[in-house]
A and B are shown apart, each in its own frame.
Chain A
């Protein structure tokens, strides 16, 4: 076209970014890559092609890691770790800073390579992926610098196996590597087989930064390599990817005593209230679901529009969709690039083709190849499969709602809980709804905002753990103290029946009521001399069911004010104190020890401690680079099921219960298995202390028998075990079902009398950090 013709048509024309330097880098490496192990690239071996999805061209040949490769990588990381940790925070900060600078210096090379490999528009890799990756290294350089002073009791975990997905290859690498290395860990990382090139370029940069050998190891390959890493002798697995694979990893790591964080799928709601700035909300959708071709775990893929504006909103949305430009990802004027692989294209096509509702495809030019048009499926209801299933493509599904509470109900009607967006010009609506949304991240009048200072991660089947912020460091540190093995404690045996003045029938405590066990069985408990103390009911799976139902129904506790919860905890302490002598005597008799008095005193003290914490475990405001606030709010997990410590029959139960309910959780507690009777007397204290029914539920029985039911229960958000029966594997395997969080003792003892028996670790386990982004502007 001539200038004169363009003057009339006013078309955009091509604006290609040159791929020359990135392709030259690949050629310089021989176009064939091995792994990066112990500071050097291995010789390329048997492998597979890495293609540019936009053209189908082979970019390079990669190597499939063998068992020996993974072993070598883990061994190199293991060998390097002590020295890396001993280097100290400031020493490590220098390296992280160097990476940040190197990522800046080579920004365009990384961006172009990412786009070639992944198919995402160059605008996104250039303006979003790479700058955010740099930001993560800067931020965590700072965390390394501050670790010694601010986290004096934190130690590195050791060797971290990290598996990242193909949608944000370098960015996810940065999210994984930066905090791990900052805290003194070494890593073995596997990029996705479709998108390994920027990780290999990063390895090349590691050499340039003079990084000690073995600190970062990168192995390439498919899921089988991932499985090898998961199975390897590592101290932690960090995985970002599908819920399906996350579940397998949860099962594969169960009971191994290693740390695990999972950042999985989502079906994030995008809620538009009638008072929203409609045009801005529509523009937000472009960044929510057509960002990175919709291949984003936190994509706002489920549109919920208030009925009164639904028609005009959808009309304008369709008009906006028609303006999207799809094509060559290297073109600087393109909104939507190529899907990552033809396999992904087929997946999306198959999902959409069977859908009900009205399907609208953007009326824009679609190039040949691995492209899928921006699509809207409207008129769906929560029952429609695509309202529930993650599509992971540029496909938005929509429905309507009538009221704010219905919006919350529909939004939360999902197995996932990664992110949510809400649009309203009314501060009351926005700030009321944000905390009610079940998600790790909520964006108010915005979407897909990320920063290293703000935690990111999900709840429910979107996984657990956070990346970014102070909370993100928990995923890469452990407490400094050395664990000691916990011996299994058996109840005392006996056959002697001691006559009591009046027979007492201890029951289970469910929903604020004393309840007979469903099975109708009880067990005799004896003291050290073999004398009968009394009977405790034997709870079964139905009692667990009833207790969880009661706990779920007591949701009002989470909404009670922290002051109110503190008052209740103080009151429990007060009432326990009034019966201190009686409990002390009972404990001594149950355990055959003499520490009853101390245990009760400590328990009262512990109740006071968590009463104190109830209104002081504050969230905070994060310094994210925008005009607005990112609130890191500590929210209760929900329903926590816990197997209480066997060794301290009263203190153990209170040490578990008090932090949980202080933070607004409801608990289902299975009392000390060998010494359950103190717990059953304790419910009388609860009954007199204004604890609402269902907030605390107490069962007695076999930990081993009840653990699977509790761990697999879909309506339990978190499962803890401090039992002297090592149930870590049972709990963690069962938890894979709904990907609930777990906290297990891995057969290690804890000093319930001492400082290890209380504090921040408990509060952190009892809360989820929700990041609420509130950009503002009058």
Chain B
């Protein structure tokens, strides 16, 4: 009788540190083609997870605060103005009413980043000066990604020059749908190169990829091409972040880490608006990827209305009375 013992995850309780960036690797088509995603099994896992994991009381409050720290507070509207963006940035600095943060012992809590279109980068950078909150910009002909390739690359360069520390690019869905994995890899490599020091999040627009198997393959290809984060959606597709899609992408990230040693971040975006949903996402991260990913350098929510619901839950936690939205500052 022999008994093996487990390797404990020694990184599980480390303080927040930034990872070595994923340098990418050569496109490994054997690996990409071997990716499998059984939809019904994945849906069952995703469907039962909320019933399997539950956080209550102080734990729930702490988890909700953690969710806030991972929010990419986002405005991506045609009518955005510097004033609107400044207001959002103020909310990013003070996402929760000061008395509530005080009660929770979490003074200084901020969101993970502010996410805007290119033209709003400068006002955002200015408004966030000294806060340490990075500005993320959507890019590459967001949301459809159908503008000329050289302009998409140039857009990244312009946004980086304007001060964006994170670039959310959109992949060309047609490359996935036609199985042109080499094309996707090359595109992603070019985007990553254009980002330079800025971190790049690859938006897969999973709602337009047709199958979970495509999601799995596209996730792997983007990571091989050096994505720092993979992200579900632009928020503009008819179906945005879902738990099944998240499970597939998280498992791809896990396998990439197992094989290469590099941790790639995950960002679900669009459709996550309830505090309870954010807890489920966090528990899925914890289960599938581990505690190390429960930090803003490896996990973000792309969301605009989620924060408001969390604020109300936190006030309820502190006071015991159910809250109202008008008791919290708008962003």
Contacts and interface: CB of A to CB of B under 8 A. Distances in A.
Chain B binds chain A? yes
Contacts of A423: 38
A360 B3 contact: yes
A522 to B, nearest CB: 60
A7 B52 contact: no
B113 interface: no
Interface in A339-378: 353, 355-356, 358-363
B45 A445 contact: no
Contacts of B41: 277, 280-281, 283-284, 445-446, 775
Interface string B19-57: 000000000000000001111111111001001111111
Contact of B62 (A6, A126, A332): A6
B105 A2 contact: yes
A765 to B, nearest CB: 35
A117 B56 CA distance: 25
Nearest to A323: B287
Interface stretch (B5-13, B114-122, B149-157, B171-179): B5-13
Contacts of A428: none
B39 A12 contact: no
Given A3-B104, A10-B291, A12-B59, A280 B42 contact: yes
A7 B4 contact: no
Interface string B60-71: 011101100000
A627 B287 contact: no
Given A13-B56, A15-B54, A333-B53, A358 B4 contact: yes
Nearest to B104: A3
A275 B38 CA distance: 11
A1 interface: yes
A6 B69 CA distance: 14
Contacts of A275: 36
A318 B53 CA distance: 20
A406 B38 CA distance: 24
Contacts of A11: 59
Chain A interface bracket (under 10, 10 to 19, 20 to 34, 35 or more): 35 or more
Contacts of B38: 276-277, 280, 423, 425, 445, 777
A25 interface: no
Interface string B206-242: 0000010000000000000000000000000000000
A62 B211 CA distance: 55
Contacts of B1: 353, 355-356, 359
A626 B38 CA distance: 15
Given A15-B56, A322-B6, A10 B39 contact: no
Contacts of B13: 8-9
Contacts of A323: 287
Nearest to A126: B51
B56 A127 contact: no
Contact of A10 (B5, B42, B282): B282
A281 B59 CA distance: 31
Contacts of A446: 40-41, 44
A36 B112 CA distance: 62
B194 to A, nearest CB: 33
A123 B51 contact: yes
Contacts of B105: 2-4
B57 to A, nearest CB: 7
A15 B37 contact: no
B145 to A, nearest CB: 24
* Residue of A279, A283, A628 most packed against chain B (CB within 10 A): A279
Contacts of B61: 3
B2 interface: yes
Contacts of B66: 7, 10
A3 B106 contact: yes
Contact of B2 (A8, A127, A358): A358
Contact of B65 (A7, A281, A335): A7
* Residue of B8, B36, B48 most packed against chain A (CB within 10 A): B36
Nearest to A628: B40
Contacts of A7: 62, 65-66, 106
B57 A13 contact: yes
B80 interface: no
A360 B52 contact: no
A423 B41 CA distance: 10
A731 B294 CA distance: 65
A521 interface: no
Nearest to B52: A123
B205 to A, nearest CB: 18
B251 interface: yes
Interface string B176-213: 00000000000000000000000000000000000100
A275 B13 CA distance: 36
A178 B51 CA distance: 28
A333 B54 contact: yes
Contacts of A628: 40
B106 A775 contact: no
Contacts of A278: 36
Contacts of B4: 318, 358-360
Contact of B211 (A14, A322, A778): A778
B286 interface: yes
A283 B46 CA distance: 11
Contact of B54 (A332, A361, A626, A776): A332
Contacts of B52: 123, 333, 335
B58 A13 contact: yes
Nearest to A321: B6
A284 B55 CA distance: 24
Nearest to B48: A127
B42 A6 contact: no
Contacts of B291: 9-10
A198 B177 CA distance: 53
Contacts of A5: 62
A11 B55 CA distance: 9
Contacts of A6: 58-59, 62-63
Interface in A268-299: 275-281, 283-284
A118 to B, nearest CB: 18
B323 to A, nearest CB: 17
B293 to A, nearest CB: 10
Contacts of B63: 6, 10
A5 B15 CA distance: 12
Nearest to B216: A277
A9 B14 CA distance: 9
A363 B3 contact: no
A15 B43 CA distance: 25
A3 B56 contact: no
Nearest to A364: B6
Contacts of A123: 51-52
A451 to B, nearest CB: 14
Nearest to B254: A279
Contacts of A12: 53-55, 59, 283
B55 A3 contact: no
Interface in A758-778: 775-778
Given A15-B55, A362-B6, 18 more contacts: A2-B58, A3-B62, A3-B106, A9-B291, A11-B59, A123-B51, A276-B38, A280-B38, A280-B41, A333-B53, A358-B2, A358-B3, A359-B3, A359-B4, A360-B4, A425-B38, A446-B40, A776-B40
Give the top 3 A-B pairs by smallest Cβ distance, nearest first: A777-B39, A363-B6, A13-B59
8 contacts: A3-B65, A281-B41, A333-B55, A358-B3, A363-B5, A425-B36, A777-B38, A778-B39
Interface of B: 1-6, 8, 13, 15, 36-45, 48, 51-59, 61-63, 65-66, 104-106, 211, 251, 282-283, 286-287, 291, 294
